[in-house]
A and B are shown apart, each in its own frame.
Chain A
Amino acid sequence: MDPPRGALAATQRERVLAAAEQAVAEKGCAGATIEGIVKLAGVSTVTFYEHFADKEECFVAAFDRAVEETREQLREAAPARLAWPDQVREGLRALLAAIDDDPARARMCLVEAQMGGPALVARYDVALDDVVAKLREGRALGSARGWLPDSLEQATVGGLAWLLRQQLELGGGEASGGVGELYPRMIEIALSPYMGGSAAMGEAPAAITEPVAADG
């Protein structure tokens, strides 16, 4: 069935997606029901099924919408005309601010998406792969080390996403004032393979050091 068209339909769809986001953040993918979503959205169940085949399809659309809007915020904060390290710095800063501004959305994207069905989990991986590709651009920098393992960026992004998830789901810790407090450590993890530690923090590029002989 083709989704309905027109201004009213678009508004309805938007309302359903916003409601789904709220429901998932509050109750999780398993706990959120179509009944609860249509009630929050103020639309009928029939309308819901005009837009989505099932709950999972609706969650995937809500996730995609949240990711696209966040991506838009990041593009604005870190435009492509900036040098790559500044794109990463400003992008991360904007991401952490967006998470602290809207913890429910962040919870859906960084916690609940991994707890949904296979389609949603796959979308989550695709969204992270965008960040992986952006970080990989750092390999073109003259200061990048020559021996970077191929999976470095996937590991970096997975590691940073895990730090954020812990903060959102399990709370407490150093950054109880919000994920913004994680910024200095996260930016160092993201940039230092390409720039060295102090340069990653926004200082002048440090001399490239050879890896320390690893015998503890």
Chain B
Amino acid sequence: MADRAQAAEQLAAGRTRLPPGRHGLSSDFVAENQRERLLNGLVEAVAADGYNATTIGRIAEASKISRRTFYEHFEGKEECFLAAYEMIDTHVGAAMLAAAGPKEPWSERVRSRLAALLDVLSRDPAVARFYLVEPLAAGGEVAARYRDAMQLLAELLRPDSGPSGVDAEVRDQALMGGIATLIRRRLNAGDAVSIPDLLPDLVDLSTRDLLLKN
């Protein structure tokens, strides 16, 4: 988990390219590094062209890796997308957890975790688009994975006691759908820098009896 979070951080920062030349590294390491470069290239390509228009050729080009090598790692675009999504999701979750542990009072915990979420997303609009915009454009398996990610975020924001079962699930999804919509609107307007300004509203939405009944 920690390794993956670290890898995701590097992925998000785009720092995973090996220096050129002979590096004498094990083939496992090279394979892992190629995989990360591909994930990185995918995020870059999808942010530029959108999920539907992104081709394997474009991913290969963005990651400076051959198409053949792409297919050694992934069956296709969707599998590659899901792998990159997993890493970013892990990174976002880890950042939110690191911001506030379970012992913090609930309202403090929510504020700190939301601030961490907005910080990660505003720092890299490509990652933010990949995380919150493109899954809705991709549909299918990818949209289902997005739903699970939103469920996980909602769990990080939940009060210690509250409704359970279907009621909690519906309210979680309505809350996350709402939060994601507000962030998405800023991204679509090319206004990623102002994403952290959403914090007071998101705290209200999450902690007051608005979208989520406590």
Q: Tell whether A pairs with B.
A: yes
- Produce 1/0 per residue, B46-60, CB < 8 A to A: 000000100000000
B96 interfacial contact with A, CB 8 Å: no
A111 contacts which chain B residues (CB < 8 A)?
139
Report the contact-size class of chain A (Cβ under 8 Å from the partner): 35 or more
Report the contact-size class of chain B (Cβ under 8 Å from the partner): 35 or more
Partner of B137, one of A115, A125, A182, A189: A115
B179 nearest in chain A by CB position: A155
- Within the assembled complex, what's the spacing in Å between the Cα atoms of A197 and B213? 9
Main SS at interface, chain B: helix
Check if A156 sits within 8 Å of B211, measured CB to CB: yes
- Within the assembled complex, what's the spacing in Å between the Cα atoms of A133 and B182? 15
- Within the assembled complex, what's the spacing in Å between the Cα atoms of A215 and B214? 11
B143 contacts which chain A residues (CB < 8 A)?
165, 169-170
Binds A, one of B16-24, B64-72, B77-85, B158-166: B158-166
Check if A162 sits within 8 Å of B188, measured CB to CB: no
Partner of B181, one of A121, A149, A162, A188: A162
- Within the assembled complex, what's the spacing in Å between the Cα atoms of A163 and B176? 10
A28 interfacial contact with B, CB 8 Å: yes
Check if B181 sits within 8 Å of A159, measured CB to CB: yes
B137 contacts which chain A residues (CB < 8 A)?
114-115, 121
Binds A, one of B7-15, B117-125, B167-175: B167-175
Interface residues of B in 171-211 (CB under 8 A from A): 171, 173-182, 184-185, 188, 198, 200-201, 204-205, 207-211
Interface residues of B (CB under 8 A from A): 52, 105-107, 109-110, 136-140, 143-144, 147, 159-161, 166-167, 170-171, 173-182, 184-185, 188, 198, 200-201, 204-205, 207-211, 213-214
